[in-house]
Structure formats: C-alpha cells, structure tokens
C-alpha cells in the first residue's frame, strides 16, 4: 500500500504543494486513507487495470465526473 506516513509528513511540511500519490494504491481503502493525509490526487492505474476498483467506489473521488 501507499506510504501514508510519508505522504502525511510531506503534506504537513509543504502544505502549499498539491501532492499526488503515485504508487501502492490497491483499493478504495487506500484512496480514503490517502485523502485523509491531505494528498490531492492518486494514480490508481494498476488497481483499475486489475479491476480492484469499481466506478461506484471511485465516484466520491471524482467530483466532476
């Protein structure tokens, strides 16, 4: 999974940066945990490719979709 401690520390230290997580997203729980750290975005390509994320699960993370 994503290194949540690292992302939380990065967001805390440099809040002016819109952080994007780029590895480790396995499922919707990882997306929720990343959102809780303050990360602005996440790449979840492999989880999508392997069908571990559904459109319904992603909908809360895609406000303009």
Average per-residue pLDDT for the chain: 93
CB 60 within 8 A of CB 32: no
Quote the CA–CA distance of 15 and 38 in Å, as a whole number: 9
* 35 pLDDT higher than 90: yes
pLDDT at 65: 65
Query: What does the pLDDT look like over 17-26, one tens digit per residue?
Result: 999 999 899 9
Whole-structure pTM over 0.75, yes or no? Answer: yes
* 9 pLDDT higher than 70: yes
Quote the CA–CA distance of 31 and 47 in Å, as a whole number: 11
């Amino acid at each position: 999974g994503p290194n949540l401690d690292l992302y939380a520390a990065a967001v805390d230290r440099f809040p002016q940066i819109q952080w994007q997580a780029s590895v480790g997203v396995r499922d919707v729980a990882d997306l929720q945990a990343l959102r809780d750290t303050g990360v602005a975005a996440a790449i979840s390509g492999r989880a999508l490719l392997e069908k571990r994320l559904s459109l319904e699960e992603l909908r809360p993370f895609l406000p303009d979709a």
